[in-house]
Amino acid sequence: MNYVDGFVVGVKEENRETYRRHAQIAAGVFKEYGALNVVECWGDDVPEGKLTSFPMAVKLEPGEVVVFSWVVWPSRAARDEGMKKVMADPRTQPDALPMPFDGKRLIYGGFEVIVDV
């Protein structure tokens, strides 16, 4: 069964195109190192919650939008190996590909797929 890395972050509305270009470049690197699919989603209907919500989780600031993304890998082993290569690749280093968001508020994690219909 596949393995998925998930990400949620707040991005300034004015940085949408900058983020899209950043994500497009990063997606190519992820796929080069074994990812099957990379999806980036710009928040369109992301309500503020009372106890929990995406905006609360990323400490969304005024003028920001929640971005939800995931990378699908063939397995956890492929992800572990591929992610090492992605992180070491010069194309993904901050001087080559600056993050158009506050990385301290990025939420991420790896997930074992248990249902895929």
SS3 per residue for the chain: CCEEEEEEEEEEHHHHHHHHHHHHHHHHHHHHCCCCEEEEEECCCCCCCCCCCHHHHCCCCCCEEEEEEEEEECCHHHHHHHHHHHHHCHHHCCCCCCCCCCHHHCEEEEEECCCCC
Please give the pLDDT value at position 79. 98
Please give the pLDDT value at position 24. 97
Please give the pLDDT value at position 77. 98
pLDDT in tens, 22-79: 999 999 999 999 999 999 999 999 999 999 999 999 999 999 999 999 999 999 999 9
- State pTM to two decimals: 0.94
Please report, for the chain, the start and end positions of each structural domain, with discontinuous segments joined by +.
Answer: 3-112
| CATH 3.30.70.100, applies to 3-112 | yes
